[in-house]
Chains A and B, each alone.
Chain A
Amino acid sequence: MIDILLQHPFISALVALGLLAGTFGAVLGFASVKFKVEGDPLVDQIDELLPQTQCGQCGHPGCRPYAQGIVNGEAINKCPPGGQATINALADLLDVEAPSLDEEHGQEDIKKVAFIREDECIGCTKCIQACPVDAILGAAKQMHTVIAAECTGCDLCVEPCPVDCIDMIPVESTLSDWHWELPNPAQIIATDRQNQEESQAA
C-alpha cells in the first residue's frame, strides 16, 4: 500500500486531499451541529424593529405582513410612523444602505393618538372594527372612546367615522418624558470667526 503511494505521487496526492477533505468535512459538520445558531427567523427580527402601529401605510395589512414583505425583497423605506430611525435600524439589521423615507407612503409625523369627541359619537362601531389593536371601547348605539395608552396613532379609525368625530391629537410630552438632546453641533463646532471675535474681545 505504502509502496503504491510512494511510487505514484498522483495517487498519494489524491489520497491526502481526500483524507483532508473528509476530516475537515467532519469537523465542519460537527461544528454546524454543535454551534447551531438558534436565531429568530428574519421576519421576527424585522417585525421587532417595526413600530407596530399596524397603520397599513406601507400597503400591507399590518406590520408583520410588511416584515414578511421586506424578507421577500421589498424596500425598507415604506414605514412613515417608524421614520428614519426605523429605516436605519432595518438597514443595520439587513446590512444595506439606509435609504430615506419613501414619501409616497406618507411623511414622518409627530406622535398622535385618536380622540373621539364623545358628544358627537353616534355609536356606529365602524371605528371599532377599523382599529387594528382593539384600542376603542364601545358598543352599538353606545358612545365610543379611545384607550389613549393603547392607541398606536394609526389613523385607520378616522376615515370610517360617518360623523367625523375622531381627531388625531398630538401626544403631549410631560416632564417625565422630557430628556436632554445631544449637544447641538452648530453650537459646539467652533469657527475661526467666533475665535477672532473672542480674542478681540479679550
Chain B
Amino acid sequence: MRKIFDFHGGIHPPENKHQSTQGGIESIALPKELIIPLNQHVGAAADPVVETGQHVLKGQLIAEAHGFVSANIHAPTSGHIRAIELRTANHASGMAVLSIVLEPDGEDRWIELESCDQPETLDAQAIIAKVRAAGLAGMGGAGFPTSVKLGGKDIQTLILNAAECEPYITADDILLRHYAAEVLAGAQLLARVFPRLESILIGIEDNKPEAIASLEHALAAQPNTGNTLAIEIVVVPTKYPSGGEKQLIQLLTGKEVPSGKIPAAIGIVMQNVATARAAWRAVRYGEPLISRITTVVGKALKKQGNIEVLIGTPIAHVLSERGFRETESERVVVGGPMMGWAIEDTLAPVVKATNCLLLPSKEELPAAPPEQACIRCGLCAEACPAELLPQQLYWYARAEDQEKLRAYNIFDCIECGACSYVCPSSIPLVQYYRAAKGTIRQAEKDKRKSDQARLRFEARQERIAKAEAEKEAKRLERKKAAEEAKRKLAEKQAAEKSASAYSATESAKDSTKDSAKKDAGEPDMKAIKSEMVKEALAAAAAKKSAQQDDSSEAEKELKRLQRGLSSAESRLERARATLLKNQEEGADATRLDTLAARVKEAEQKVNDARKKLEAAQ
C-alpha cells in the first residue's frame, strides 16, 4: 500500500456531487451554430485552414496549431463554415476572440479517420504526433496542449488526475464509471512516451466509490502483456484542493514542485483522466478532440447531469436544452464553485477545458456578503494549500506593494479560493491576488519594453553622435588638408618669390619689363581671389539679412501656407476618392468608417490651412 502524504491546509466545502451522478452520460440536440475559438488555452492561437462558406466534415481539421504550444482544431460536426470572426470567449474577461463559426448540416457525417489497430507497436514520436494531430489539450480545467507535456525527457512518474476535488463537478467521475478501460489504455499509451518511466499512478478522491470500483474492475480485466508497467490506483482522502496538480503530486509522492517550475522538473507528468481517454481514442481510432463530458448542474436548471457536449456549443444552447430558469439565477459559472469564472454572455462556447457549467439558484450559492475589515484571524493561512500568508498578501495587494507581494511569494498562489472560502470577513481575497499578479506581470512587461526602448534610444544617440563625430573628423581633415594646401601654396609662392627676387637681382637691369609683368601678375591673382571671397561673403550676408528680413520671411511663410493648403486639398481629394471607391466596392463598415473619419480629418486640415493662410494674409 502506497503511503499517502498530506498537504497543508485545504477545506471541506459541501460536495454537491450527487445531483449530477444520477443519470449517465446524456446528449443534447445539435445547436444552430458552433463557435470554435481558435485559442482555447495558454499559448498561440491556431491558424484557420478553412474559408467562409466551405463545407467541412465532422473531424476535419479546420485550424492548424501555430507553433509549439498550440493545438489543432477540428470540426465538431459536419456543416458549413459561416464566418471566422470575433466572438465572445469563454473567459472571465468576457472579451471577444477570433472564432470559427460552423453551421451544422445535421448529417453529422465523419471524415475518414485513420485508425491504428496495434497502437502498442507505435513508438514515442508516433504517439506524440498522433496526440498532437488530434488537437488534444488538458481537459481538467487549464487546457494546456497535451503534446507539449509529453515531450519531457526524464520522467519517472506519470500521474493521472481523477481527484476532481471541486464541488459539483462529476465529469471525470462519470467518465471513469463508463470508460475506465479506455482511460487505463490511454495511461499505458502515454506511459510508452517516457522511456524512463517507473510508475503510473491514478489519484482519486475517496468520495467516488463507483469510479474506483470501475477502475479496479477494468484494471483486473486489463490483459497483462508483461512488458507494461503496472497501474496503481491511489485513493486519497477528500479534501479540496487535492486535485490541484501540485497538491496531488504532494499527496501521492510527498514531493513538491519547486516554485516557478513545472512537475517535469522533478520527473513527474500529470494528465487528466479525460485527456488520457482522449489520447487513447486519438491513437486507436484517429478521433480528434471534438467533444467532451461536461457536468451541467445547479438548482436553476430543470435537469442536472453530465452531457457529452460538442466543443463550440454555445452555453446558451446547453442551458436551454436543460431548462435553465433565468429568473432564479444571478450568475452562470464555467467550472466549479471554487475556481470557475462567471460569464456575462451565455453565447460563449463550451471549449476543450470546460468540465462544468454551474447554474446555482440565488439561495444555493448566494452572493458574497459585503466585505468587512480583515481582523487577521489567520483562518486563511490555515486553509492555504501553498502555505502562504494570505492575510499579508491581502494587505500588500491593497497597498499595491509589489516588492512585498513577491517577498511573500504571491506567484506561488494557485488561486484555489480556499482562503476566500473560509474568510470570516468575506473578503474576495482571490480577486485581490489576481489583480496584484496581473499588475505585477503588466509592470514587468512594461519594464521590459521600457528597457528595450532605453537601449534603442541610447543606441540611436550613440549612432548619431558617432555620425556627428565622423562628420566633424572629416571636416577637420578637410580643413587640415586645406591648410596644408595653403601652406604649400605659400611656400611655393615664397620659393618663387625668392627665386624671382634672385633672378630679379640677377637680371635687374636687363629685364625690368619682365619682372614688372610678373609683379603685376601676382597681385592680379590675389585681387581676383579676394574679390571672390568678398562676393561670397556678401552673398552670405545678403542671405542672412534676407532671412532676418521680416517682409521676405512673411512672404515665405505665405508660400509655405499656400503649399500646405494645396497639399491638404489634394489629400482631401484623395481621401474622398478612396472613400468613394470603397463605397462602390462595398467594403465593410469599419473600413468605411475609418475612411469617412479620414475625410473629415482632411476637411478639418484644409479648413485649418485656409484659416491660417487668411490670417497670414
The number of residues on chain B lying at the interface, defined by a beta carbon within 8 Å of a beta carbon of chain A, is 41
Q: Are B453 and A150 in contact (CB under 8 A)?
A: yes
Listed A/B pairs (28) with beta-carbon separation below 8 Å = A52-B454, A62-B457, A63-B457, A64-B454, A64-B458, A134-B456, A152-B449, A152-B450, A163-B567, A164-B571, A174-B95, A175-B95, A177-B442, A178-B95, A179-B435, A179-B442, A180-B438, A182-B431, A182-B435, A182-B436, A183-B431, A183-B432, A183-B435, A188-B428, A189-B370, A189-B371, A190-B370, A190-B372
Q: Report the separation of the CA atoms of residues A47 and B458 in the bound assembly, to the nearest whole angstrom.
A: 12
Given contacts A162-B567, A190-B370, contact A179 B456 (CB under 8 A): no
- For residue B434, CB closer than 8 A to chain A, the reply is yes
Interface hits, B428-463 → A, CB 8 Å: 428, 431-432, 434-439, 441-442, 446, 449-454, 456-461
Task: Tell me the smallest distance from the CB of B400 to a CB of chain A, in Å.
Answer: 8
A50's closest neighbor in chain B, by CB?
Answer: B450
User: Which residues from A are CB-within-8-Å of B567?
Assistant: 162-163
Q: Report the separation of the CA atoms of residues A134 and B398 in the bound assembly, to the nearest whole angstrom.
A: 39
- For residue A53, CB closer than 8 A to chain B, the reply is yes
Type the 1/0 row for B395-406, where 1 means its CB is closer than 8 Å to any CB of A.
001100000000
Q: Are B92 and A180 in contact (CB under 8 A)?
A: yes
User: Which residues from B are CB-within-8-Å of A164?
Assistant: 571, 601, 605
Q: Report the separation of the CA atoms of residues A189 and B605 in the bound assembly, to the nearest whole angstrom.
A: 49
- For residue B91, CB closer than 8 A to chain A, the reply is yes
Q: Which residues of A contact B (CB under 8 A)?
A: 47, 50-54, 62-64, 120, 132-135, 150, 152, 162-164, 173-175, 177-183, 188-190, 194-195
User: 6 additional contacts, CB 8 Å, given A132-B460, A183-B431, A188-B371?
Assistant: A47-B454, A162-B567, A164-B605, A175-B93, A175-B95, A188-B428
User: Which residues from A are CB-within-8-Å of B450?
Assistant: 50-53, 152
Q: Report the separation of the CA atoms of residues A116 and B321 in the bound assembly, to the nearest whole angstrom.
A: 50
B568's closest neighbor in chain A, by CB?
Answer: A164
Task: Tell me the smallest distance from the CB of A129 to a CB of chain B, in Å.
Answer: 10
User: Which residues from B are CB-within-8-Å of A162?
Assistant: 567
A85's closest neighbor in chain B, by CB?
Answer: B443
Q: Report the separation of the CA atoms of residues A63 and B452 in the bound assembly, to the nearest whole angstrom.
A: 13
User: Which residues from B are CB-within-8-Å of A50?
Assistant: 450
Q: Are B453 and A54 in contact (CB under 8 A)?
A: yes
Q: Report the separation of the CA atoms of residues A109 and B410 in the bound assembly, to the nearest whole angstrom.
A: 30
Task: Tell me the smallest distance from the CB of B338 to a CB of chain A, in Å.
Answer: 16
- For residue B78, CB closer than 8 A to chain A, the reply is no
Q: Are B457 and A52 in contact (CB under 8 A)?
A: yes
Given contacts A178-B95, A183-B371, contact A54 B571 (CB under 8 A): no
Interface hits, B390-421 → A, CB 8 Å: 397-398
Task: Tell me the smallest distance from the CB of A59 to a CB of chain B, in Å.
Answer: 17
Q: Are B441 and A179 in contact (CB under 8 A)?
A: yes
User: Which residues from B are CB-within-8-Å of A135?
Assistant: 456
